[in-house]
């Protein structure tokens, strides 16, 4: 009978994320909340991030081609039990080769090849072919560029994406192996990145129980005499907010929007909302407590996205008890099938019908969400991570014992 090897020491995790508060962004917010929850459970966690973030170590960024060297030096210095990488490709300088797709890379790939401690990777993105090609945004006219020059650059972008879909996929799957675990937020992502395990994106309200919805609305000067459908996030074309002004809003409802500047590309999307049923807060990127108050003030989320492989906003909404209406994208469809929201074809008529359906059946959707949100409390998410970490340590000990 084989005796089970158990790891009973205090875990030390090196958490890696170029984006980290006070930097704006969903990956950084997620990393900070997960780190906080893990520390509260007794795990030692140090964070490596960009100089603009307040982590324990810095020096990594999308533009630093020496990220791997920085990380290897920190691992050699600190000797963690394992490394946990928050992997959003663009945060590690994704470079797509327009001629030889096998040369496509990020500036963290060599770290995976050279690191001698176990690595767990949380994948924040993974796309179908259709969504991958939809990520190519129309280029903005700059200076004295002619239409020919703009269209030539656009053609180059489409060609580069067309050629590199499988290389992008391989950059993900190569980060999984015998001592490398992969985590994703949904079944959809686990199918895009085979071999990964599902641990949901955590979220929960930090608004005190005694604060009412009306009180929360007063913080943002939001109308108190109606129901609120909320749309929020970086103002990019993939959010699909141009659809909002075309929707028919049921009587007794208003749409509230809060957008923030997209810091990671040159897209200069501008949304104009002239509909009297739409209120644009224009508050920019919100702190955790501000975001929680805003979500607490709402009744549902609107997610008319054109592209999405995962949505922290959706999880934040669910963690605050908000059902959603979204475009019929596979990621959202997975959660609508649990009765947590409604997915429809991305046009104003279908969204308007879904709005009416949600209005009539709100209690049913709200009950389902309130049951589901227990699964994404940070304490539970932390426990699932800790269980995985300890499994990895047991496997490491087992390999060492066999080697001896």
Rounded Cα gap, residues 267 and 277, in angstroms: 27
Query: What's the whole-number mean pLDDT along residues 132-137?
Result: 74
Residue at token pair 């509230």? 256
List the beta strands (DSSP E) in 213-313.
227-234, 253-260, 278-280, 300-303
| Residue-level pLDDT at 263 | 61
Going by C-alpha positions, the residue among 201, 206, 379, 377 that lies closest to residue 289 is 206
For residue 246, count other CB atoms closer than 10 A to its CB: 13
Residue 63 has pLDDT above 70, yes or no: yes
Please count the other Cβ atoms lying within 10 Å of the Cβ belonging to residue 208.
Answer: 8
Could you identify the residue written with the tokens 């699909």?
Answer: 240
Residue 13, classed as helix, strand or coil, is strand
CA-based end-to-end distance of the chain: 19
pLDDT of residue 362 exceeding 90, the answer is yes
pLDDT for position 400: 62
In this prediction, residue 347 carries a pLDDT of 93
Residue 1 has pLDDT above 50, yes or no: no
Q: What are 109-121's pLDDT values in tens digits?
A: 999 999 999 999 9
In this structure, are residues 203 and 376 in contact, taking their beta carbons and an 8 Å threshold? yes
- Model confidence at 4: pLDDT above 50: no
Q: Are 18 and 60 in contact (CB under 8 A)?
A: yes
Confidence of residue 144 (pLDDT cuts 50, 70, 90): low
Mean pLDDT, the chain, rounded, equals 88
Percent of the chain topping pLDDT 90: 65
CATH number of 12-202+377-403: 3.40.50.2000
Of the given ranges (5-14, 63-72, 73-82, 345-354), which has the lowest mean pLDDT? 5-14
pLDDT of residue 159: 78
Alpha-carbon span 96 to 106, nearest angstrom: 9
pLDDT at 214 over 50: yes
**Do 92 and 107 meet the contact criterion of CB atoms below 8 Å apart?**
yes
pLDDT at 349: 94
Higher local confidence (pLDDT), 301 or 242: 301
Q: Which of these, 392, 6, 8, lies nearest to 179 by C-alpha position?
A: 392
At 326 the pLDDT is 96
DSSP letter for 95, please.
B
Of 4-18, 187-201, 307-321, which range is least confident?
Answer: 4-18
Q: Which residues pair with 47 in a beta bridge?
A: 15
Q: Where are the domains of the chain?
A: 12-202+377-403, 213-376
Contacts of 339 (CB under 8 A, 6+ apart): 364, 365, 368
d(Cα 77, Cα 166) in Å, to the nearest integer? Answer: 36
pLDDT at 179 over 60: yes
Which fold, 213-376? Rossmann fold (3.40.50)
pLDDT higher for 105 or 371?
371
Percentage of the residues of the chain whose pLDDT score is greater than 70: 89
H or E element: which one contains 84?
A: strand 82-87
Cα–Cα distances in angstroms (integers) from residue 211 to residues 127, 207, 217, 313, 320, in the given order? 39, 7, 10, 22, 13
**pLDDT above 70: residue 270:** no
Please name every residue paired with 123 in a beta bridge, in sequence order, or none if there are none: 87
Do 12-202+377-403 and 213-376 fold alike per CATH? yes
């Amino acid at each position: 009978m084989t005796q089970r090897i158990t790891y009973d020491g205090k875990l030390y995790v090196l958490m890696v994320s170029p984006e980290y508060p006070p930097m704006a962004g969903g990956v950084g917010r997620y990393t900070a909340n997960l780190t906080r929850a893990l520390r509260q459970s007794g795990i030692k966690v140090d964070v490596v991030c960009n100089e603009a973030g307040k982590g324990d170590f810095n020096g990594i960024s999308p533009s630093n081609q020496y990220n791997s060297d920085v990380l290897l030096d920190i691992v050699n210095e600190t000797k963690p039990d394992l490394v946990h990488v928050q992997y959003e490709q663009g945060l590690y300088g994704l470079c797509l080769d327009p001629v030889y797709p096998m040369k496509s890379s990020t500036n963290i790939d060599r770290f995976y090849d050279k690191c001698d401690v176990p690595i767990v990777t949380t994948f924040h993105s993974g796309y179908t072919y259709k969504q991958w090609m939809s990520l190519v945004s129309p280029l903005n006219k700059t200076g004295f560029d002619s239409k020919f020059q703009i269209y030539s650059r656009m053609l180059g972008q489409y060609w580069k994406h067309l050629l590199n879909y499988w290389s992008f996929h391989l950059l993900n799957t190569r980060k999984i192996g015998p001592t490398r675990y992969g985590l994703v937020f949904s079944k959809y992502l686990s199918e895009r990145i085979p071999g990964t395990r599902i641990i949901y994106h955590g979220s929960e309200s930090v608004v005190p129980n005694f604060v009412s919805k009306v009180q929360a609305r007063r913080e943002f000067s939001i109308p108190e005499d109606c129901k609120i459908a909320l749309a929020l996030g970086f103002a990019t074309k993939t959010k699909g907010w141009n659809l909002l002004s075309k929707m028919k809003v049921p009587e007794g409802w208003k749409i509230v929007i809060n957008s923030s500047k997209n810091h990671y590309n040159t897209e200069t999307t501008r949304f104009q909302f002239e509909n009297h049923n739409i209120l644009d807060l224009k508050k920019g990127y919100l702190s955790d407590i501000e975001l929680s108050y805003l979500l607490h003030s709402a009744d549902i989320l609107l997610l008319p996205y054109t592209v999405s492989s995962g949505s922290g906003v959706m999880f934040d909404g669910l963690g605050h008890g908000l059902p959603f209406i979204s475009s019929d994208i596979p990621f959202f469809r997975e959660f609508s099938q649990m009765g947590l929201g409604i997915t429809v074809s991305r046009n104003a008529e279908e969204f308007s019908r879904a709005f009416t359906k949600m209005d009539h059946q709100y209690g049913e959707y709200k009950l389902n969400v309130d049951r589901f949100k227990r699964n994404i409390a940070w304490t539970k998410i932390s426990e699932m991570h800790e269980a995985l970490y300890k499994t990895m340590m047991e496997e490491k000990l087992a390999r060492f014992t066999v080697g001896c």
